Amino acid sequence: MENTEYKFPHEVDAEQVQIEIEDDIPEVDKDKEPLPKETVEQLDRDELDEYSSEAKEKLAQFRRVYHDERREKEKALREQQEAVALAQKLYEENKALKGKVNTSEKVAVDSFKDSASVN
């Protein structure tokens, strides 16, 4: 019988799973720089008293929509990262289980051969 020592998945030399992450940023937005910090700070400090209540409400709605969209994108990114991590984990588990099945089959075959040769 062959003496095979169990190896953990990180110890086994095997081909690595390659996952390609596609950049879904529209071509129009790819090379755009974010607003300078000074401009962002000035916009945050801007006195809304100058605007009518209707304009203030509209600005608040735009900001809310912006943040809702940002949160959705962040959620999608987190879900994508979790899906990639799960896929890699499942791949490694599958590979380990296949290795165990192959080892068990070899042991069973060797055992049957030994029993057959004794009889």
Work out how many domains the chain is built from and give that number.
1
Which residue matches tokens 């081909």?
15
The radius of gyration of the chain's CA atoms, rounded to the nearest angstrom, is 29
Summarised one tens digit per residue, pLDDT across range 44-99 is 666 666 778 888 888 889 989 999 999 999 999 999 999 999 999 999 999 999 99
The confidence score (pLDDT) of residue 1 equals 46
Asked, for residue 17, whether it belongs to a domain, the answer is: no
Please tell me the total number of residues recorded for the chain in this structure: 119
Q: Does a structural domain hold residue 13? A: no
Residue 29 within any structural domain of the chain: no
In angstroms, the CA 37 to CA 41 distance is: 6
**111 Cβ contact list (under 8 Å, min separation 6):** 1
Domain that holds residue 62: 37-118
Is 111 part of a structural domain of the chain? yes
- Specify if 41 maps to a domain: yes
> Quick check: is 19 in a domain?
no
Question: In this predicted model, what pLDDT tens digit does every residue of 67-78 receive, in sequence order?
Answer: 999 999 999 999
DSSP for 52-69, written as a single string:
-HHHHHHHHHHHHHHHHH
CB atoms near residue 34 (< 10 Å):
7
pTM of the model: 0.48
Domain membership flag for residue 2: no
97 Cβ neighbours under 8 A, 6+ residues apart: none
* Residue 89 domain flag: yes
